[in-house]
Amino acid sequence: MADPTPAGEGGDPVARATRPGGTAGSGRVLTGVVTRDKMDKTRRVEIPGLVKHARYGKYISAARSVTRTTRRTSSRIGDTVEIMETRPLSKNKNWRLVRVVTKAPRMTAAEAPTKTPAKA
């Protein structure tokens, strides 16, 4: 079924940005790893990077965390995701999920570690 709203006209800005020719998809796109998924429809993503030391010129690995939003809970901890900068959606959220690049391996109940009683 075709979308009744043409790209760039009305409708949801998040959905509009994902359509070809959408006007809302002009923000930066970064790739990071999901580090927290306890919130509903919100994930914390850590973006790795390098920072050059001001005095010594040595590159130091530094990561920053951003909070991004999604309508569906399609990503979990360990997944590599692509996020796009967008208008402020709340006090701390101004990124949205573009796509899940790779999914982290999931453990089944049989593979999960079990607690063993401590020896006295």
49 within some domain: yes
16 within some domain: no
Buried b (16+ CB within 10 A) or exposed e, 46-83: eeeeeeeeeeeeeeeeeeeebbbbbeeeebeeebebeb
15 within some domain: no
pTM of the model: 0.60
Handedness of CA 75, 78, 84, 90 (dihedral sign): positive
110 within some domain: no
Among residues 113, 38, 115, the alpha carbon closest in space to that of 75 is found at 38
19 within some domain: no
Task: Please tell me the total count of domains within the chain.
Answer: 1
35 within some domain: yes
Residue 100 near residue 79, CB atoms below 8 Å:
yes
63 within some domain: yes
Residue 4 makes CB contacts below 8 A (sequence gap 6+) with: none
CA distance 53 to 71: 39
CA distance 115 to 66: 33
Could you tell me the CATH number of the domain that includes residue 48?
2.40.50.140
91: domain range?
Answer: 24-102
- The pLDDT of residue 113 is 63
One pLDDT digit (tens) per residue for the chain, 120 residues: 554 544 444 444 444 444 444 445 568 898 999 988 888 888 888 898 899 999 999 999 888 888 877 777 678 888 899 999 888 888 888 888 888 898 888 866 666 566 666 666
CA distance 28 to 84: 6
- The pLDDT of residue 96 is 87
59 within some domain: yes
